[in-house]
Structure 1
Amino acid sequence: MQQLVTTHARIEPVTPKHPPGVSGVCSSPCARRSRTPWRTRWRVWGTRPTNPTFSATPCSRAVSRSGSTSVETAGPYVNFLPSSAYFRETVVAAQEGSYGHLDDRETSIVLEHTSANPTGPVHVGRARNPIIGDALGTLLEYAGYDVERHYYVNDAGRQIATFTWAYETFDESDLPDPERDRIEYDLVRYYRAGNAFLEEGDEETVAEAEAEIEAIMRGLEAGDEAVFARVAAVVDKVLEGMQASLARLPAEFDEFVKETRFMHDGSTEDVVERLTNSEYAKREEGAWQLDLADWGVEKPFVFLRSDGTTLYTTRDLAHHEWKFDSFDRAITVLGEDQRLHATQLEAALEVLGNDTDRLTSTFYGWVNLPAGESMSTRQGTGVDLDDLLDEAIARAREEITTRMDERIRDDDLTEADVERIARQVGIGAVRYDIVSKQPTKAITFEWERALDFEAQSAPYVQYVHARAAGILAESDIDPATLDDADAATLSHPTERELLREIARFPAVVETAAEELKPHVVATYTREFAEAFNAFYRECRVVDAADRRTRRARLALVVAAKTTIANALDILGVAAPESM
């Protein structure tokens, strides 16, 4: 499409939902404010001083020669009307497992997400980061990017020094029992005991403890190998447990990048030297800081304390320069409380001479539980991600058992089957409910909404995949034999509406990836589910009136099943074969 208008304009895809009953597949207005927001649209922007209407006419002529669609102009708009060939090609393309994967962009992206401090179990309030981050990574891969998922490990700050001191100081016999039989729940007891001691201990012993903690921090700054080893003995074990928790979502990483790496290799020291020599640096009361007023940042950025130790953001500067050396783009998923850090970081990177157009930060609000909600947290220490997932699976299991008589398929489920489906539905409900919301707004997680089989939830969408799988199982047909199915026979309005939903999936992927908004895909899955359910109500498939119609509808079901499976895959939600 772009090749057709490179002489006069560039185009930009926009993929809004169209209403039922409209024959057009897409339209290309020159502005988003169109009276036809229901079509997949293309914004046409003149690269020369060209009236958009003049760009539309040659564009429509060029496209119409392809023969795959009927094209007409309406002022600055180019409206694409579907042909039988278009629908046939859509069904064939969507039967492939790779449907929705875009061409390779030959662009590498490092995606940093989660990066929770390794001080104990993952808290439910931070659950949005790994869920959004994991979905964003898969979305970018579908969009043709080469993505590496990184977890940045804060193993050099005061919290970790305190943790290391506490682990080496307290005796396990003096600690309460761990909340779970996993390493991070075991070790967090030392961290809590250490903090309690620092708050409540007598002045003399607390001063001694503070001196030991400061010695650990100075040892890290000095590159002391023995201190690095002491810290790693704690951090690596806690990370092992946190990984086990995150893997339940699942959210997995290609690399865990430690903060101390950039102290050990000298890159943090190099950053400090360059910042100190910059025109924006000044020394106040022995500490070095940057004046970032030119970037709209009123608060000075301290990058070196008066005692000669660096700060988290200082080390993160070295980390980001390493990213720029290794990847084309860097994307970071951060909590709303990290906005100042992100702003200071970007400004300081520019002071260091980096191209920050390659850096993008996307922010999210917290996940809260309804007032009075309880999930039996055992020790009253707050709700962890594991608590949330356990509760989700238990509630899903109860709902599935209650609905056993309403199941789509009449196959017998074993206890293992019920447990597997409960995990798929329960964890899927958590992921979907969180990823489907605008990320910058704080959300309250509500069980009734998340596990509602009849509403816009993960089970509602997962049910579509299970229903499609059930239809195909009942038909007892090999999907590979449906290549010759005639999509031209799919003339019922609900068939055409479902075809249009299938057809717009690749454009949804592209738009969501460019805007870094996985929730756009979640919205699409709900609209897709509505279209499929309408088709299911109105059109017989297995016992269709004739063989030709039956095969065409079965091919449509295969295409729908592949599409919804891939859309759910982007969101990290399982696509059950049976529910």
Structure 2
Amino acid sequence: MPAAVSAAESAASVDPTAALERALRAAIAAVTGLPAEESDPHIRPSGNPQFGDFQANFAMALAKKIGANPRQLATDVLARAQLTGIADKAEVAGPGFVNIHLAGSALASALDAFDSPALGIAPATATYAVTVDLCGVNVAKQMHVGHLRATIIGDTIARVHERLGRKVWRENHLGDWGLPIAMTLAALRRAGTNLDSLTLEDLNRAYRAAQLEGRDDAAGMIAAHATRVGPHRIAELEAQNTGAALAQEDARATLVRLQSGDAQLVAEWQKIIHCTMQEVFETAAVLGVQLTDEHSRGESFFRERLGPTVEAFAKSGLGVEDDGAIVVRYPDRDRPMLIRKRDGGFLYATTDLAACKFRVQDLKSDRVVYVVDARQRDHFKDVFDAVRMIGWNKLADGTEAELVHVPFGSVLGADKKPLKTRSGENFTLKALLDEAIERGTREVRARSTDPNAPTAGMSDADLAAIGSAVGIAAVKYADLGSDVTRDYVFDLDRMVSFEGDTGPYLQYAHARMASILGKALDAAAHAPPRPAISVAEPAERQLALTLLRYPHVVREVAQHLDPSRLCAYLHGLATSYNGFYQQCPVLKCEDPALRASRLRLCAISKHVMKDGLGLLGITAPERM
């Protein structure tokens, strides 16, 4: 492509609606006398290919605005529009809808421009970065199914912004500071645990034990005296409360020493973090999620910023005293946000305020996205509003950062209740993924026993690799493919299916595309490097139109922070490709030029499918 052509022009050249919109906008302005910015033709893909490729729905709203007949307005605009070389046919239907059939040459030209490494996606020219808060694990606790959603939704949102050319900061807001961590560390020290050989399961047990040790029952003691229970029960409660008080005292002393930088305690604290994060990073690698140590910035990172955060709110008059505590009040709701307790302690809200300021002003982000479960909706509304009130959402040049919470629903079992093991415990994420991989591998191995299967004769290691990819794709696509705000039922039987709206189905579609291209190596060797594209058949047109929607879909996913739009698109692409392959012979086509064109359509389809699956963090196997 000539260097004089800009990235924006390149992107526009692959969008068949761009020239169509320009022509209709100019015609509307000429007929109505309205300025071009008020002459939007409202072009949408046609709901029925029988009536055209696109529909322009400008006439009725515009006619009402200027006092005209909508059908006559549509007719006049079409008469004025310069559509030569853009559309083969454009006609008015019903009360004023305009049905448009694109010219085959325009479609082929757009697809030829689209067939490039960028796939029509122009790199962004944004000044600022995007920050995505994802994962959000707590030290000393195993990852559970809720972390699945926060991790893979956040990773996909990050990948999509990176695909659009944005600088992205992945931020794993690690819960690594405060009294619960000190309680766990103190309990491990009392037990004489060797922290060098500590496993996360050991650490998780220690965490729960520490919580129990520090739990008193003051209410129980009051009730025991009031009801005059026997001395044995009162003695038990006294022992429990004394033990809890000692554990709490030990934890507070440990926290003070940790906060003061005690070298030995800090070293032991770091071992606990390492033990936790080792499994987090291993799980992220299994999931195909880009998450490493460089993406983890824990609560401890912000501990020196908490005091100044409260001071800034107090100095601005936004932080006010309430019974010894400091709270932020809002003009539109009764609940205040507590940012410092009476005893001087800080809260999650304090840390989130400091983190939000850091992400906007230090990481220089004009979009900060928090992927956290829906139960935190009110919390983030309070935090974001407080950040805006104090002005921390503004960058140096006055740009206001967009602060967004992407709330997600729960993962449910077959009983429509939060997913549990058979013993009633929460599913750990590792156990869930192990089961998915086992099921995926079993399915792949069963298919490989067919002597005609592409995987027949493959080594056990290769089958296991494909099986792992299938299992992970099943889990990720089922999660990302639905509205993230909704709960969904975790059903592995449906998820690992190679048919229907599943991740393995899309992987299989990609493998079929690869197989066709592999079988056509001889034909491809004798074809020109970029054979001319023909889109004469309806199935070819439908596939071409679907392919050309890809850049728009990727931009929509980023705009709306909705991975399900990409999942729906890729499933639609697989459906369009299947229709094309069944109705338009490829390998058996006798016309060399037409065969080369159709092979190129296969190659472009494979490229888009692989690119789209990559944005979901899903592997695209060449054989299945």
TM-score (norm 2): 0.79
Aligned to 1:82: 102
Aligned to 1:147: 168
The question of whether the paired residues in 1 share the 8 Å contact of 2:140 and 2:204 is answered with: yes
| Cα distance in structure 2, aligned partners of 1:504 and 1:182 | 51
- SS of the aligned residue for 2:287 comes to coil
Question: Which one has the bigger helix percentage?
Answer: 2
| Cα distance in structure 2, aligned partners of 1:449 and 1:524 | 20
1:234 to 272, 276, 284: 272
| Cα distance in structure 1, aligned partners of 2:97 and 2:576 | 27
**Residue 506, structure 1, aligned to residue 551, structure 2:** yes
The question of whether the paired residues in 2 share the 8 Å contact of 1:84 and 1:487 is answered with: no
**Residue 487, structure 1, aligned to residue 533, structure 2:** yes
- Code of the aligned partner of 2:533: A
- The range that moved more, 274-283 or 121-130, is 274-283
Aligned to 1:169: 190
| Cα distance in structure 2, aligned partners of 1:530 and 1:496 | 13
Aligned to 1:526: 571
Structure 1 residues 195 and 379, CA, compared in 2 at 3 Å: closer, same or farther? farther
- Code of the aligned partner of 2:272: V
State the identity %: 25
| Cα distance in structure 1, aligned partners of 2:66 and 2:268 | 65
Aligned to 1:553: 598
**Residue 444, structure 1, aligned to residue 460, structure 2:** no
| Cα distance in structure 2, aligned partners of 1:159 and 1:12 | 59
| Cα distance in structure 1, aligned partners of 2:300 and 2:68 | 56
Aligned to 1:122: 143
The question of whether the paired residues in 1 share the 8 Å contact of 2:175 and 2:299 is answered with: yes
CA shift, 1:227, in A, is: 5.8
1:191 to 197, 202, 207: 207
- SS of the aligned residue for 1:362 comes to strand
Structure 1 residues 172 and 410, CA, compared in 2 at 3 Å: closer, same or farther? closer
1:530-571 Cα deviation digits (max 9, x unpaired):
111122222221121321221111111001111111111111
- The range that moved more, 477-486 or 520-529, is 477-486
- Code of the aligned partner of 2:163: Y
CA shift, 1:305, in A, is: 0.7
CA shift, 1:157, in A, is: 3.1
| Cα distance in structure 2, aligned partners of 1:548 and 1:132 | 43
CA shift, 1:196, in A, is: 3.0
1:135-190 Cα deviation digits (max 9, x unpaired):
111112223322221111122233222222223222449x9xxxxx9842342222
CA shift, 1:323, in A, is: 1.0
Aligned to 1:156: 177
- SS of the aligned residue for 2:482 comes to coil
- SS of the aligned residue for 1:299 comes to strand
Structure 1 residues 29 and 375, CA, compared in 2 at 3 Å: closer, same or farther? closer
The question of whether the paired residues in 1 share the 8 Å contact of 2:41 and 2:57 is answered with: no
2:414 to 349, 370, 394: 370
Aligned to 1:38: none
TM alignment of 1:446-485, pairs within 5 A: 446-477=491-522, 482-485=528-531
- Code of the aligned partner of 1:19: N
Structure 1 residues 510 and 155, CA, compared in 2 at 3 Å: closer, same or farther? same
TM alignment of 1:561-576, pairs within 5 A: 561-576=606-621
CA shift, 1:415, in A, is: 0.7
2:52 to 23, 38, 48: 23
**Residue 393, structure 1, aligned to residue 437, structure 2:** yes
Structure 1 residues 19 and 102, CA, compared in 2 at 3 Å: closer, same or farther? farther
TM alignment of 1:267-286, pairs within 5 A: 267-286=305-324
Aligned to 2:297: 257
CA shift, 1:124, in A, is: 1.4
1:205-245 Cα deviation digits (max 9, x unpaired):
21111112223445566677776555333223312221211
The question of whether the paired residues in 1 share the 8 Å contact of 2:198 and 2:275 is answered with: no
> Runs of 5+ in structure 1 lacking a partner?
35-42, 176-180
Structure 1 residues 311 and 410, CA, compared in 2 at 3 Å: closer, same or farther? closer
Structure 1 residues 386 and 353, CA, compared in 2 at 3 Å: closer, same or farther? same
1:392-428 Cα deviation digits (max 9, x unpaired):
1111112122223286537631111111110111100
* Higher radius of gyration, 1 or 2: 2
- The range that moved more, 379-388 or 519-528, is 379-388
| Cα distance in structure 1, aligned partners of 2:43 and 2:278 | 42
TM alignment of 1:191-230, pairs within 5 A: 191-199=207-215, 202-218=240-256, 228-230=266-268
- SS of the aligned residue for 1:470 comes to helix
Q: Report how many residues are paired.
A: 556
Aligned to 1:382: 426
The question of whether the paired residues in 2 share the 8 Å contact of 1:30 and 1:52 is answered with: no
**Residue 291, structure 1, aligned to residue 329, structure 2:** yes
- SS of the aligned residue for 1:260 comes to helix
The question of whether the paired residues in 2 share the 8 Å contact of 1:124 and 1:385 is answered with: yes
TM-score (norm 1): 0.85
1:445-481 Cα deviation digits (max 9, x unpaired):
1112211212111111111100000001111148695
Aligned to 2:392: 354
Structure 1 residues 453 and 87, CA, compared in 2 at 3 Å: closer, same or farther? same
The question of whether the paired residues in 1 share the 8 Å contact of 2:213 and 2:243 is answered with: no
**Residue 315, structure 1, aligned to residue 344, structure 2:** no
| Cα distance in structure 1, aligned partners of 2:342 and 2:561 | 40
- Code of the aligned partner of 2:37: H
CA shift, 1:345, in A, is: 0.3
Structure 1 residues 511 and 272, CA, compared in 2 at 3 Å: closer, same or farther? same
| Cα distance in structure 1, aligned partners of 2:42 and 2:167 | 22
- SS of the aligned residue for 1:291 comes to strand
- Code of the aligned partner of 1:312: Y
Structure 1 residues 384 and 14, CA, compared in 2 at 3 Å: closer, same or farther? farther
| Cα distance in structure 2, aligned partners of 1:129 and 1:386 | 15
Aligned to 2:155: 134
Structure 1 residues 52 and 167, CA, compared in 2 at 3 Å: closer, same or farther? farther
Aligned to 1:39: none
Structure 1 residues 533 and 401, CA, compared in 2 at 3 Å: closer, same or farther? same
| Cα distance in structure 2, aligned partners of 1:493 and 1:522 | 24
Aligned to 1:303: 339
- SS of the aligned residue for 1:360 comes to strand
Structure 1 residues 12 and 221, CA, compared in 2 at 3 Å: closer, same or farther? farther
Structure 1 residues 182 and 423, CA, compared in 2 at 3 Å: closer, same or farther? farther
- The range that moved more, 437-446 or 105-114, is 105-114
| Cα distance in structure 1, aligned partners of 2:286 and 2:478 | 16
Greater relative CO (CA pairs within 8 A, separation 6+): 1
Structure 1 residues 209 and 531, CA, compared in 2 at 3 Å: closer, same or farther? same
**What is the alpha-carbon root mean square deviation over aligned residues?**
3.8
| Cα distance in structure 2, aligned partners of 1:529 and 1:15 | 21
- Code of the aligned partner of 2:285: A
Structure 1 residues 109 and 374, CA, compared in 2 at 3 Å: closer, same or farther? closer
- Code of the aligned partner of 1:240: Q
Aligned to 1:415: 460
- Code of the aligned partner of 2:521: D
CA shift, 1:433, in A, is: 0.4
- Code of the aligned partner of 1:530: T
- The range that moved more, 353-362 or 104-113, is 353-362
The question of whether the paired residues in 1 share the 8 Å contact of 2:411 and 2:418 is answered with: no
CA shift, 1:288, in A, is: 1.2
